[in-house]
Copies of this chain bind each other. A is one copy, B any other.
Amino acid sequence: MSQKTEAPLENDNLRDDETLTRSVDAAAELTTPEAIEDFALGDDYALNPEYISLVIDAADRGDGMRLRELLDALHPADIADLLGFLSEDYREEVIPWIPADHIAEILTELDEDIREEVVETLHPQDLAEVLQELDSDDAAAVFEDLEEDQRLAVLAVMPEAERAAIGASMAYEEETAGRLMQREVMAAPSFWSVGQTIDRMREGGDDLPELFFDIYVLDPSHKPLGAVPVSVLMRARREMALTQLMDPVTEIRVDQDQEEVAYIFEKYHLISAPVVDSSGRLVGQVTVDDIVNIIQEESQEDMLALAGVSDSGRDASIFGVVKSRFWWLLINLGTAVLASSVIGLFQDAIAKLVALAVLNPICASMGGNAGTQTLTVAVRALATRELNAANLLRTVWREIAAGVLNGLAFALVMGVVTMLWFHDPKMALVIGLAMVINLFAAAMAGILIPLGLDRLGYDPAASATVFVTTVTDCVGFFSFLGLAVIILL
């Protein structure tokens, strides 16, 4: 620690920034937890860069007491956020000062890499206790990212019941409802009254969830018949039967993909839903707070996949970033060479008329943009299940018609531009015709390729872009240069 005080870590972020001066002035007043929290979070509840620089200053000075004070004032989610903003060296300084009673919740919020750094500072005994504090879904999520030796060490010191619970969660496939669900549920047999149910809830017990929103009503074979929201139960007369109050439930199968679960929650505006096994018996519940993250992850995955990049996170190393981009670029290099070889077929034509080389990229570029537009809309519609056999032909027809109409419009615009630029009506005709052909090809590729990939069971977001731009590049070059040979030469 003392070395740090003499040789501060290089802070490459805020040193030059005027904000630093301001933050140091303000820092003097930050003595109460409330003042620190107010300073740490902007009006929009995002973490304030000036607060982060206070943490970095304290770490540079090796001032552990100040670090503890700064961290203590924050919500666990904000501490997790803070760690994401720090470089690895600073995280090493800060992690030991995280308040122990927040470790459990912080672990569930962290990205995998950073979580590992925190876990490494914990004794297996402490880690086992942390896991027991969590709901079963969160405990399984933390556990599944542990190294094999960490897992064994933790299991060794865990009570039998907890060990069995984690084992049961891990038995389900990743990204299924089984992993997502918590086993703690509030359920009641169908013959119970409101009063009996409330009395049972008051007696409590460890198997009851800390927070819950619905009481599931079960038949004698443990199959859910319906659910009563807590707020309804609370306001009902004690002698009423649960079956009089219950609403129908939307059951989730334990092996259902998490993306499907998210779709169901979103569609029916669910707060919680019972999870059932293959024989229809209740085995757990999924709650909406776990779904919110999945909805955002799935949407963002599509966006990143369309650009051909896996997000390596804000904590990624340079090499990690290079790796996350390389393969997509390599595939695209292949398609770029392929497209260039199309131009190679027309070298004689270009030698005769150099203007062809100048105008050649325009149709391909327009096709690429139009194809990407259509593709993005198609990927979104598939992801939200707004596109299926019932509106397939209508959608394909509309996209292609729209492509042709835009092709005609841009044939006109580009024809006029070419006339003004090269004063050559034949050249204007060539580029106009090529534009219509390529925007037609772009629409076809942009809608049919994602549909085809989806039908074949591939993720259209992850692979369609490269196919679509290959089509629009090759058709763009070939139609423009080919028409030039026919009409101009």
Instruction: Decide: A84 and B386 in contact? CB cutoff 8 A.
Output: yes
For the complex formed, measure the closest distance between the CB of A412 and the CB atoms of chain B, giving whole angstroms. Answer: 11
Interface string of A59-91 (1 = CB under 8 A from B): 000000000000000010110010011010000
Known pairs A260-B45, A308-B373; A347 contacts B354 (CB<8 A): yes
Instruction: Decide: A271 and B271 in contact? CB cutoff 8 A.
Output: yes
How many angstroms between the C-alpha atoms of A350 and B364 in the bound complex? 19
Select which of B264, B304, B336, B355 is within 8 A of A365 by beta carbon: B336
- Cβ of A414 within 8 Å of any chain B Cβ, yes or no, is yes
Instruction: Decide: B234 and A392 in contact? CB cutoff 8 A.
Output: no
Known pairs A309-B377, A311-B380, A361-B336; A389 contacts B231 (CB<8 A): no
Residue of B nearest to A17 (CB): B389
Instruction: Decide: A366 and B303 in contact? CB cutoff 8 A.
Output: no
A residues 235-285 in Cβ contact with B at 8 Å: 235, 250, 253, 256, 260, 263-271
- How extensive is the interface on chain A, given as a class? 35 or more
- Residues of the B chain whose Cβ atoms lie less than 8 Å from the Cβ of A410: 329-330, 333
Instruction: Decide: A46 and B388 in contact? CB cutoff 8 A.
Output: yes
How many angstroms between the C-alpha atoms of A333 and B388 in the bound complex? 33
Residue of B nearest to A111 (CB): B386
Select which of B52, B292, B365 is within 8 A of A292 by beta carbon: B292
- Cβ of A316 within 8 Å of any chain B Cβ, yes or no, is yes
Known pairs A235-B201, A406-B326; A333 contacts B357 (CB<8 A): no
Interface string of A207-251 (1 = CB under 8 A from B): 001011100000000000000011111110000000000000010
Instruction: Decide: B318 and A398 in contact? CB cutoff 8 A.
Output: yes
Tell me what chain A mostly uses at the interface: helix, strand, loop, or mixed: helix
- Cβ of A360 within 8 Å of any chain B Cβ, yes or no, is yes
- Cβ of A328 within 8 Å of any chain B Cβ, yes or no, is yes
How many angstroms between the C-alpha atoms of A289 and B306 in the bound complex? 28
Residue of B nearest to A46 (CB): B385
For the complex formed, measure the closest distance between the CB of A421 and the CB atoms of chain B, giving whole angstroms. Answer: 8
Interface string of A121-132 (1 = CB under 8 A from B): 000000000000
Residue of B nearest to A461 (CB): B303
For the complex formed, measure the closest distance between the CB of A466 and the CB atoms of chain B, giving whole angstroms. Answer: 9
Instruction: Decide: A402 and B325 in contact? CB cutoff 8 A.
Output: yes
- Residues of the B chain whose Cβ atoms lie less than 8 Å from the Cβ of A457: none
Residue of B nearest to A82 (CB): B390
Residue of B nearest to A44 (CB): B260
Residue of B nearest to A413 (CB): B333
How many angstroms between the C-alpha atoms of A293 and B384 in the bound complex? 12
Instruction: Decide: B380 and A304 in contact? CB cutoff 8 A.
Output: yes
Residue of B nearest to A269 (CB): B289
- Cβ of A300 within 8 Å of any chain B Cβ, yes or no, is yes
Instruction: Decide: A308 and B46 in contact? CB cutoff 8 A.
Output: no
Interface string of A392-403 (1 = CB under 8 A from B): 111101110110
- Cβ of A426 within 8 Å of any chain B Cβ, yes or no, is no
- Residues of the B chain whose Cβ atoms lie less than 8 Å from the Cβ of A186: 231
Binding site for B on A (CB under 8 A): 12-14, 17, 19, 43-47, 49, 52-53, 75, 77-78, 81, 84-85, 87, 186, 198, 201-202, 204, 209, 211-213, 229-235, 250, 253, 256, 260, 263-271, 288-289, 291-293, 295-296, 299-300, 302-304, 306-309, 311, 314, 316-319, 321-322, 325-326, 328-330, 332-333, 336-337, 339-341, 343-344, 347, 350-351, 354-362, 364-366, 369-370, 372-373, 375-377, 379-381, 384-395, 397-399, 401-402, 405-406, 409-410, 413-414, 417, 473
Given A266-B292, A292-B292, A321-B399, 16 other A-B residues pairs in contact with their CB atoms under 8 A = A13-B394, A45-B263, A46-B385, A75-B268, A269-B292, A288-B292, A303-B303, A304-B377, A308-B369, A311-B377, A328-B369, A329-B370, A333-B410, A340-B361, A350-B357, A361-B364
A-B contact pairs, 19 of them (CB 8 A): A13-B393, A45-B263, A46-B388, A77-B267, A186-B231, A204-B235, A271-B271, A271-B288, A288-B288, A296-B299, A299-B300, A300-B384, A303-B303, A306-B376, A307-B373, A311-B377, A322-B405, A336-B366, A361-B473
